[in-house]
Structure 1
Amino acid sequence: MRDGVRLATDVYLPDHGDRHRGEHGDAHVPAVLVRLPYDKNSRYVYFDEVAARFTACGYAVVVQDVRGKFRSEGPTVPFLREPDDGYDTIDWIVRQPWSDGLVGMFGDSYYGFTQWAAVASQHPALRAIVPRVTTVDFNATAQNTAPVGRPVWLEGIEYFAHYWVDQGVYDYEPDRAVRPVIDQFEEAFRAIGARSTWFDLLAPRFTDLFPARGLHPFDARPVPVLHCVGWFDNIVTPHMGDYMELAARPGWDAVQYLWAGAIDHENYRLADAPATEETDHATNPAALARMLPDYVDPAVEFFDVFLKGTRRVSELPKARWELGHAGWRTSTSWPPPEAVERTFWLDALDGLDGIDGLKLDGSAAPPGGAAAQWTYDPEDLVPSLVPNSFAQLQSYPDLAPLTTRDDVLTFTGPALAAPLDLAGPLALDLHVTSSAPVFDVFVKLLDLGPDGQAHPIARGEVCVRADAAPDDVRVDLGHTGYRLRPGHRLALLLASSDYPMYLPASGSDENPWTTVAAKPSTQTLHTGGALPSRLVLTVLPAPDAQHSPTPHAQH
């Protein structure tokens, strides 16, 4: 790198390439660059297998441990040096005898972010990127802002504490009962004998260092981008936020494309949920072999257009997306042009219809006002139930037990006589108050089956400062493509804790990281009359029998 730090890098070359040869007889080929912090040679990222698919299609693959991780030199600090290191690595690639001077980038999560960092560097050789299950600004998932912000994603903060101490990874299980919560991590750092610099910038008070300097990638020269989104990814909301922001920028919108599957962050599929010994690609090589085409081939097709020029732009659908339980579709935009907004009014007055006597009414706003309450008890937090939200489709637990808790408010809709297809953004508008000055609202939209099991469709959460919040609070539930089948019902859950996935509220003005004795609170939801609350869904007008059976073209 420009400061002399060396980054460990593997290069995979195709056996044959284009007609043009370099001075050493190497084929001049485009390169696919991957810059990641998870050990480029680990089975977790299986890049020998991924590279084999790319090189078979005539691409060189360059895989690099980022600065400060595994075999790479330098201090272990995420984000800050990625624009410069991305630029310098691309500069090194185009000087290699096998390079044709064109570079694309590929990868998930943090190595989706390193693609955006390279875009911000504006290296002229970077011609296309394929960021998967990622977002431009991971810090947005960690901050607790008011009057309406997000609860702190504790599971995400743990990632920094585990991965960003030094070159290695520290796997430990904190004592979830320890208070204050920050001491759970202090115990681990004392045992390790080192600290995570980035954890210290996020807790107990958030320090916004991204972007620390330089150009925001969205303000850079537009580069063709294929967003690969997972409807069940735990960061689908910020990822789709990136997509929708770029859709409002004509220069970017012209060159951005969407691939969205019914997958989670770790590429487990709804069609296989829960994973079994036969279908778990993390442990079964045969399952990995079956998963790789969906993982790699959309990127190959994209690079064939923008790096090789062997396919036409007209062959790429602007949006290729999976309708969960109903196959793959394409559309000229996202949401699909035919999708319409549908409102479900929450009604706390009409009892005896659904779980806990509460229901969703899709017909009209309730004329009369009503209210329902739920409590927050810091001594009896609502359990997350999902053991790992990065791989929620691996376990795919039944969330129905949450609906029987006194501290969870549940609304249900009627059993469907025909399929209901969700295809676009989802949101919940609430008129809600609290006995606490600051409170959290966690929302889960569920598919309640005829067998009584409830499985997630989407989720969202807000942290509200009562004295500064607007009269109504919008909870962004992200985007999805999902079919509710006949006989199934929508269920909507509201609670004020989700532990250990999220940092518990203090119930006061105290910092939740350092609170020793959090205070209980009561939340009141208003429905109907002058204070309506509503669930806003984007739906297809009718089931579409015409759909693509696979998420990618056949080679």
Structure 2
Amino acid sequence: MAKISRLAGLAADLALGLPVRAVPYEIRRDVSVPMLDGVALLANHYRPVGADGPLPVVLIRVPYGRDGAFGQVFAAPLARRGFQVFMQATRGTFGSGGQFRPFTTERDDGLATVDWLRKQEWCDGRIAMIGGSYFGHTQWAVAPYADPPLTCVAPHITSANVTNRLFYEQGVPSIHTALSWSAQIGRQERPGLLAGMPDPRVKTRVRRALGRLPLQAVDVQVAEAPVPFWRDFVAHAEPGDDFWAQADHDGADLSRMPPVSMVTGWWDLFLGGNLADYTALRAAGVPARLVVGPWLHGEPGELRTIVRTDAAWLDHHLRGGPAPSGAPVRVHLQRANKWLEFEEWPPNAVREKVLNLGSGGGLAEVAEPEDRGGPSRFTYDPARPTPTVGGPLLQPPGKQADNRLVEARDDVLVFTGPLLSEDLDIVGPVSATLHVRTSIPYADVFVRLCDVDEKGVSRNVVDGIHRLDPRTLDAPGIEPGIDGVLAVHVELFPTAYRFRAGHRLRVQVSGGAFPRYARNMGTDEPFATATAGRPCHFEVFHDAARASQITLPALDG
């Protein structure tokens, strides 16, 4: 059995791209840690065989199980390198007591766990945390508040803000992500040979369920039982609801943060929040490093990079190993197949390139002096919501896709630029400002930037959405004008992307992107129970006084 275990470890290290290590370790399972309310959470404790005295602890808090694939990918490789690892199942998962209400208890539970660890004779008081996605969030719930501070953290493919940056992007519920994840966590502990493995039938159920109304109880259709997270998600989606404030940590005092290592991907749904967190950390003087690759959430390349950077990061901060080399920011320039290094994010070596939407469907650097023929018009109907293809999704397919069928619809405006005479590298945040007037006050503005090749294939690069609601017209990003025209600022995803010579840039404008985002029903009915929808007529203005434009960070040189 020991030989099989060593061979399995060797295979895992090779698959993860790690140098082979074989430090013998022992695992103490089902270690019980008491929480403040008396609930006990269970963990697996990895410790080097024969270790004398206390050691630092690498804490991993995860809702997906302490054993199986997550233990083999995140805990065991570190244990083979001589680290002491404490992998804990979060509240209500895999033997831990209480109910799993995602994002709502991780601060108290995480701080209680850190305090308990520091009191153990085998812990020397130094604690680091690692992990991605949800167990990246568990780090954000602890690191700004731990006293004394943690030694280092590595919150990958995650965000300090899980509401406006993920589940309700600029006020729009991300229903595909929320329901897909609800299906996963709602089924993950069921017995069976394939428990926890991807099931194509579940994807079909999610797709069908998203098309039904009301949305309040569609979790039962995909998970065959109510899922508390989905019920919280649909019940607390209205403006002014502060239920999720307990889950957002981007307002925390960052001066208490230890050194931070981050890995994410250009097609990762957490990208925008991840990069905003990095910028805020550096502004607060926190030592931080960032890697952004051409990955979707949880892709093998992303996972391999996470594990490799974690091993080096922990070795440096816990054992005095060599510091990471190179610039603190390393990003992959897509369609150029090369990596770039910068001292900061966003990089300083860029200039703003502004492209104006034109009345004839053009895209130009100079705005038209007046709207020839008036504003561009389209109608969004929630009964036949504008679809989306590709983009940053929780699960494949995602990334880039052919957008021509979507662009042929009558509810999508398309603005296309001239042929590029030379390569154009865009590196940094992308934004758009549209001057729009809508026939009803409830509407969404979706903007997508595409790359059109020599054959006319239009592939998405980045996009963003912003919700219009009379209850939030004073929120940032909306500026009222005369005659009911609003200037709407849309934050698109950041990117590093090369538009090749001979290609064209294209901008889509529409009223939604379903099922990635919930359709806007055009009424004030609560999101969870809405069933009736109203079409919305859009006017998009593009004269010099009311220019609609997209702003791109063009890389110098």
Same fold, TM-score > 0.5, yes or no: yes
Q: Give the length in aligned residue pairs.
A: 493
Counterpart selection for 2:364 from 361, 365, 378: 361
Partner of residue 486, structure 1: 501
Rounded Cα–Cα distance in structure 1 between residues aligned with 2:122 and 2:236: 49
Structure 2: stretches of 5+ with no match in the other structure: 1-33, 191-195, 197-201, 480-485
TM-score, scaled to structure 1: 0.80
Out of 314, 317, 320, the residue aligned to residue 330 of structure 2 is: 320
Whether the 8 Å contact between 2:63 and 2:90 is mirrored in structure 1 is: yes
In the alignment, is residue 337 of structure 1 matched against residue 362 of structure 2? no
Deviation at 1:482, TM superposition (A): 1.4
Matches within 5 A, 1:203-282: 203=235, 205-206=237-238, 207-212=241-246, 217-219=252-254, 221-249=256-284, 253-267=285-299, 281=300
Displacement of 1:10: 2.1
Q: C-alpha displacement at 1:117, in angstroms?
A: 0.8
Q: Contact 1:67/1:74 (CA < 8 Å) preserved in 2?
A: yes
Alignment-mate amino acid for residue 297 of structure 2: H
The answer to whether the 8 A contact 2:62-2:135 is kept is: yes
Question: Which letter does structure 2 place at the counterpart of 1:472?
Answer: A
Which of 521, 540, 545 in structure 1 is aligned with 2:555?
Answer: 540
Shift of 1:381: 1.3
Deviations 1:64-103 (A, max 9, x none): 2111112222122122321222223333444555544322
For 2:342 and 2:537, the matched residues in 1 are separated by: 45
Q: Give me the whole-angstrom Cα distance separating, in 2, the residues matched to 1:387 and 1:325.
A: 16
Within the candidate set 64, 80, 89, 1:38 is matched to 64
More strand per residue? 2
Distance 1:497 1:226 in 2: 35
User: Is the Cα contact below 8 Å between 1:76 and 1:164 reproduced in 2?
Assistant: no
TM-score, normalised by the number of residues in structure 2 = 0.80
- Contact conserved, 1:503 with 1:513, CA < 8 A, in 2? no
| 1:19-168 to 2 correspondences below 5 Å | 21-23=51-53, 29-43=55-69, 45=70, 47-95=71-119, 99-124=123-148, 126-141=150-165, 149-159=170-180, 161-162=182-183, 168=189
Change (3 A) 1:39 1:451: farther
Deviating above 6 A after TM superposition, structure 1's stretches of 4 or more consecutive aligned residues are: 142-145
**Superposition deviation, residue 116 in structure 1:** 0.7
CA contact (8 A) 1:442 1:497 kept: yes
Alpha-carbon RMSD:
3.1
Q: Which amino acid aligns with 2:179?
A: E
Secondary structure at 1:212 match in 2: helix
- Whole-Å separation in 1 of the counterparts to 2:458 and 2:326: 36
Match in the other structure for 2:10:
none
Give the share of equivalent positions with the same residue, in percent.
Answer: 28
| CA distance in 1 between partners of 2:356 and 2:399 (Å) | 32
- Residues 471-526 of structure 1 deviation map (CA, whole Å, 9 limit, x = unaligned): 31110013111112222222211111222221111223333443322011111111
CA distance in 1, matches of 2:387, 2:444: 15
**Deviation of residue 142 (structure 1)?**
6.7
Secondary structure of the structure 1 residue equivalent to 2:267: coil
Match of 1:385 in 2: 389
Question: Residues of 1 paired with 2:412 and 2:156: CA distance?
Answer: 33
Question: What do the CA deviations read for 1:153-172 (whole angstroms, capped 9, x no partner)?
Answer: 11233256435669847955
Does the 8 Å CA contact 2:110/2:141 hold for their aligned counterparts?
A: yes
C-alpha separation in 2, matches of 1:214 and 1:175 = 28
- Quick check: 1:302–1:316 contact (8 Å CA) kept in 2? no
